[in-house]
Structure 1
Amino acid sequence: MSTTAAIRTPANWRDTDPGIVDRLLRGSIDLHCHSGPSVMSRYFDHIEALEEAASVGIRALLLKDHCYSVTPVTELLNKHYGHHGVELLSGVPLNNPVGGLNIHAVDHGIRLGARLIWMPTYCAANHIDYHASHPEFVDQFPKTKTLTVPPSPITILDDAGRLKEEVLPILDLIAEADVVLSSGHLHISEIWVLFEEAKRRGIKRLLCNHPTFIIGADVDDVRRLSEMGVYVEHSSCMFTPGNKYAFFDPEQLQELITAAGIERTILGSDLGIFDGFKLVEGSRAVIEVLLDVGYSEDDIRLLTRTNAARLMGIDVDAE
């Protein structure tokens, strides 16, 4: 289960070490925070997210909106709110509102300071197909506050199963800037093609978000992604009992962590949804889950801090 299985957390940790969760929250890094303004319903805005993270010592927060790059906002907040001690990061989501597979959006975003490029998420053909074929999905993914134009499906592959020509120069820009390539909400069958070409073109920072939700990946796929050098991020909110968006149980999380290995697994909150756990509440909850199944403090720091720092190029020793 663990690289440090000999130092398992005792089952009675709540009695013997009640401050352990607060200790582990300090210095943690969350690469999946959904704050607003957004066309989707969020319970807090970007400044409130920063303040909530600062209240427990979260060290870095990546702000994600599916429709626009939050990078200009994070650059402003880092300049004027740096005294809170939280480094804010963001990236460019290649959905319809930014022109889809738009090299200009990628180029401009990177020049502004974007640290990550998401392949299409809610506009991915896979996401739209998943929504259409799973009636329960209407309650599993945030809705827009008002009616919007339906998304136009985006796929990165041509009819022959090869990457579309417009994807290739985008990969080159990502490689040149040494930023992170996220597979977004593409299907796992698309992701293999994308990541193989990304590696050939020199991209070193690869991320797959919530592989068991929408993406269509199984435990063997997670293992294979890790073997490719991909970081696998699981959405904490999907594994924390009591949260509306807990679609999986803690034992499944443990199985997925084992498949990828602790050194290749990242836990991001995926929080900000108005009717789910709040950021700190959810961050505490997943640490409690990890402690309950026996992971050590060192293991949990890898899952909630060190791996994310390595992926993003943050100094893991800086406080």
Structure 2
Amino acid sequence: MEKVSLKGVIDMHVHSLPDIRERAYNDFQMMEAGIRVGARAIVIKSHHGTTMNRAFLVNEHNKIVHKGSNNFTMFGSITLNNAIGGLNTVAVETGLKMGAKVVWLPTTHAANQLRKNGKTGGIECLDNGKVKEPLKEIFKMIKEYDAVLGTGHLSPEEIFPVVDQAKSMGLNKIVITHPEFWVVGMSHDDQIRIVKDYNVYLERCYAQPMGGGLYKSNLEDNLLIIKEVGYKNVMVDTDGGQVENPNWELALEEYMQYLADNGITKEQLDVMTKKIPSMLLGLNK
């Protein structure tokens, strides 16, 4: 199979500095990596608050340094963890007004993640099986600002009612955040069912942390789910930026090349790496 090209790709889940943990690139280095490979856009994510303000500065820096010679755009997001007060409607509205394109439900501070790690507490999105009222208000804002809902590190038992509520309120830009991640733990049957029932997008990522600095490749399982669910509902992202994994652009190239070498066509790759994220980010308008 011929070598894949990263020209025009969009990755909607990448981590960079500043952060609490070490990352391979800072925001400006991530921008330069994107420009080098001809990427169209990257969404930077932090477990500790917001990144839309960082994305704004990156884009201004790009204009000054590169003087309009590329069409790369950095986008920001907001993650509903403890640093912003969990299901904080004021923080979400502020983030969306400042340009956040993705709202992630709790990740590292989700009650599900704490339970999986043998701890108690954490942020709950459900109350007796029903979506909490602040989250309904957040869903209204996500729809109003035409942003994307990411399900974070919730469990399947939480994801299904959350997605059901979101869809009932008119949200169509819903991404199931790395369902293969062991903390999330969605089976293939779960992933097939949620796509069939709600027409959401599965975000399938390069690798997942197993603890102790060790990462497990998701590539073989990603290929299987693409064949089971169909490429039109799968988005190829890296969740990259870790020092333990290859640099972002190398991880994405390896991921895409693996799919291409195993029967995924260029047209199918374009849907998963360009068309779906472009639609989600409103770049088609």
TM-score higher than 0.5 here?
Answer: yes
Residue 66 (str. 1) matches residue 25 (str. 2): no
Specify which of 85, 91, 115 is matched with residue 129 of structure 1.
115
Give the gaps of 5 or more residues in structure 1: 1-12, 134-150
Shift of 1:131: 2.3
When you count strand as a share of all residues, which structure comes out higher? 2
Higher relative contact order (CA 8 A, sep 6+): 1
Give the gaps of 5 or more residues in structure 2: none
In 1, Cα distance between equivalents of 2:92 and 2:74 = 19
1:50-89 to structure 2, matched below 5 A, reads 50-82=31-63, 83=68, 84-89=70-75
Residue 232 (str. 1) matches residue 202 (str. 2): yes
**Aligned residues between the structures:** 275
Contact 1:226 1:261 in 2 (8 A): no
In 2, Cα distance between equivalents of 1:97 and 1:193 = 25
Deviations 1:119-169, CA, capped at 9 Å, x for gaps:
000000111112238xxxxxxxxxxxxxxxxx95011111x2111122111
What SS does the aligned partner of 1:77 have? Answer: helix
Change over 3 Å in CA distance of 1:71–1:152 after alignment to 2: farther
Shift of 1:105: 0.7
What SS does the aligned partner of 2:118 have? Answer: helix
Could you tell me which amino acid in structure 2 is paired with residue 128 of structure 1?
L
**Counterpart residue number, 2:124:** 155
**Counterpart residue number, 1:194:** 162
Contact 2:206 2:217 in 1 (8 A): no
What SS does the aligned partner of 2:203 have? Answer: strand
Residue 274 (str. 1) matches residue 243 (str. 2): yes
TM-score normalised by structure 2 residue count: 0.91
Could you tell me which amino acid in structure 2 is paired with residue 129 of structure 1?
R
Contact 2:50 2:95 in 1 (8 A): yes
Could you tell me which amino acid in structure 1 is paired with residue 77 of structure 2?
G
In 1, Cα distance between equivalents of 2:49 and 2:275 = 27
1:226-305 to structure 2, matched below 5 A, reads 226-227=195-196, 228-238=198-208, 245-250=215-220, 252-305=221-274
**Counterpart residue number, 1:38:** 19
Contact 1:231 1:311 in 2 (8 A): no
**Counterpart residue number, 2:173:** 205
What SS does the aligned partner of 1:31 have? Answer: strand
Specify which of 100, 107, 119 is matched with residue 114 of structure 1.
100
**Counterpart residue number, 1:139:** none
Deviations 1:77-126, CA, capped at 9 Å, x for gaps:
22331434311111110000000000011000000001110000000011
In 2, Cα distance between equivalents of 1:36 and 1:132 = 29
In 2, Cα distance between equivalents of 1:43 and 1:307 = 26
Change over 3 Å in CA distance of 1:249–1:116 after alignment to 2: closer
In 2, Cα distance between equivalents of 1:260 and 1:230 = 11
Shift of 1:248: 3.6
What SS does the aligned partner of 1:37 have? Answer: coil
Deviations 1:200-239, CA, capped at 9 Å, x for gaps:
111121011110211121111111222212111011235x
The percent identity for this pair of structures is: 29
In 2, Cα distance between equivalents of 1:224 and 1:199 = 15
Residue 219 (str. 1) matches residue 219 (str. 2): no
Shift of 1:309: 1.1
Contact 1:29 1:61 in 2 (8 A): yes
Contact 1:30 1:269 in 2 (8 A): yes
What SS does the aligned partner of 1:184 have? Answer: coil
Shift of 1:26: 0.5
Contact 2:238 2:248 in 1 (8 A): yes
Q: Highest Rg: 1 or 2?
A: 1
TM-score normalised by structure 1 residue count: 0.82
In 2, Cα distance between equivalents of 1:78 and 1:315 = 19
Shift of 1:305: 1.4
